[in-house]
Structure 1
Amino acid sequence: MRSGLSEFLPAAATRGLASLVVAILSSSTAFSQVQQDGQLVEPIFRVAHEEAVAQPPQMASRITPPAAQAPLNLELRPGEHPLMPAMRVAQEGLVRIDTTIADYSAMLIKEERINGELMPKEVAFIKVRHQPFAVYMFFLQPHKGRECLYNAGPNNTKGLLVARDCGFKKRLGKFELDPDGRLAMNGQKYPIYKLGVRNLVTELIDVATNDTQFGECEVQTKQSVINGRAATLIEVVHPIPRQNFRFYKAELFIDNELKLPIRYASYMWPEQPGGEPPLEEAYTYVNIKLNNGFTDADFDKENVELFK
């Protein structure tokens, strides 16, 4: 599914806060591999624009007991397709995003198989604004220091990707790319304008809408914990390979507190019966912080606080 932050603080941020962030990353199993030369990478924090926000951002609590949260309604109604309860949850989630979440920051962990090859895991701080759509990314792995910025065009038309690489291209400063072009898509399964939880939900709805036209679909739900977050796991399996289906198994973890998808992973059919299904793609959102009050300045390619 579509790819793709903690709020970036000034370079002079206190060591105590930086240490706290490193401690949070260290505590997360998903970040055990975010290392460079055997050491955990300490993230760089920047803020593009600071101004008063009417309400403080909603920061998800570190651990949310499942019993403390209202359960998702995944009851299967008589005679309906097994995917319909998950479809209703996704559609309700989309309405919730559009009415209550203007922006968010998070850590994104992305794994994708392209042309049969599983690409190196990518880890990045992201900032996302829904209207008008905009994305800022700062990579920690594997290209530490790479930055990407995207702003949608008028009426949500396709815009340009602004990038600054961490290698020799850094000397060239920032440069603009077609987000669908060969260079921007190198090592990427989807363009940057498909990144984010809202795009993930809309894609899931599209896939489920297609799958409800067919049988051979097994759906299971259970309570789980991922990266210290209580979540509801929805697992969908298509036991027999068909051209109608995009995957053998899909796992969707919905945060019980935020009611947002925080991990999606899909697997293809095993090569041998009983074998391990190969991972096709996975997107995990960690340390989500909602409604930061991001403005145009946070996604302005001319802002001197970006692309330093």
Structure 2
Amino acid sequence: MSRSPRWFRGVFTVSLITGFLVGLAVEPAAAQQATVVSNITNRTRNAEHPLDPALAMASKSLENFQANVKDYSALFVKRCRVNGVLPDLQYANVKIRNRKLSAGRVAVPMGVYLNFLKPEDVTGREVIWVEGKNDGNMIAHESGIKGMINVTLDPNGYLAMRGQRHPITDIGIENLLVKLIETGERDRQYGECDVQFYRNAKIKETECTMLQVVHPVKRPYFDFYLARVYFDKQMNMPIRYEAWSWPTTQGGEPVLEEEYTYLDLKVNVGFTEADFDIRNPAYQFR
């Protein structure tokens, strides 16, 4: 979970993980009937752990995703807190082609295309990144006069990461699942973990199972106080991740750190090389 579940602002800065969310209807967790996997516990690494059902769910989803999904499109909605600042929601149409391996080598490189819709200061921005191309850099342009030239940026460089928590190379549902599993396996070494499943959650009209993990005591080895992952029941894949840090005052509210959602998700669209090429005549690159 989409630490999920780590992107672009300014003249030539590219906030690439993007996002989010005007009209996203998330059914409140309090209104759901939860299956309580565990209360606060302090089990050992080798014993049964409350995270085990969550890890099994994420692992099964990842296996299905890697075997059956070649590419997908979505309305990607996102915001993340950086240096104490939580910006407005961002929205972008996204195309993602999944990496495919053959004999341990990359047969199909990961590809990402983003077309930003809102807020107004990012409208018209386009970004392309293809694994192994352009020396690993992403290519971007702004709208209007600032869009007269393309800009090449290191995804991990200062400009690309300004105001971002994650580089463009971390975007996507597969990366989210991998991160969720990595984080869960690490947190499984410790106790102080409450896990619940809400079977009747919704993202807009999409029926979901919502997984909620809480670490009630702040520890240096935990990344979050509360995290929620919404799994589309029909597709068996996560379409929303949200995370909060611990309250800053006794009895206070948790602090929203980041949220990412894939709306109107369509899988196996059949993207070609042109979908990840700045020469595509449907795009506005120069």
Q: TM-score range by the shorter chain?
A: 0.7 to 0.9
Share of identical aligned residues, percent? 39
Alignment of 1:129-140 (within 5 A): 129-131=97-99, 132-140=109-117
By how many angstroms is 1:185 displaced? 1.5
Per-residue CA distance 1:226-274 (angstroms, 9 max, x = gap):
2111100111000000001000000111011111101110000011232
Counterpart selection for 1:148 from 127, 142, 146: 127
By how many angstroms is 1:304 displaced? 2.7
Q: How many residues align?
A: 241
Tell me which residue corresponds to 2:247: 270
Helix, strand or coil: the match of 1:189?
coil
Alignment of 1:1-308 (within 5 A): 1=4, 30-32=21-23, 79-131=47-99, 132-142=109-119, 143-153=122-132, 159-172=136-149, 174-223=150-199, 224-307=201-284
Q: Does 258-267 or 186-195 show the bigger shift? A: 186-195
Q: Are residues 292 and 121 of structure 1, via their aligned partners in 2, closer, same or farther at CA, if it must alter by over 3 Å?
A: same
Q: Distance in 2 between matches of 1:288 and 1:106?
A: 5
**What's the Cα RMSD here?**
2.4
Q: Are residues 242 and 167 of structure 1, via their aligned partners in 2, closer, same or farther at CA, if it must alter by over 3 Å?
A: farther
Q: Distance in 1 between matches of 2:257 and 2:282?
A: 36
Q: Which residue type is aligned with residue 241 of structure 1?
A: K
Tell me which residue corresponds to 2:41: none
Instruction: After the TM superposition, list the runs of 4 or more consecutive aligned residues in structure 1 that deviate by more than 4 angstroms.
Output: 73-76
Q: Are residues 164 and 255 of structure 1, via their aligned partners in 2, closer, same or farther at CA, if it must alter by over 3 Å?
A: same
Q: Distance in 1 between matches of 2:202 and 2:253?
A: 22
8 Å CA contact retained: 1:3, 1:200? no
Q: Distance in 1 between matches of 2:219 and 2:144?
A: 43
Q: Which has the higher strand share?
A: 2
Q: Which residue type is aligned with residue 111 of structure 1?
A: R
Q: Distance in 2 between matches of 1:235 and 1:251?
A: 4
TM-score, length of structure 1 as denominator length:
0.73
Q: Distance in 2 between matches of 1:85 and 1:251?
A: 15
Q: Are residues 237 and 111 of structure 1, via their aligned partners in 2, closer, same or farther at CA, if it must alter by over 3 Å?
A: same
Q: Which residue type is aligned with residue 159 of structure 2?
A: L
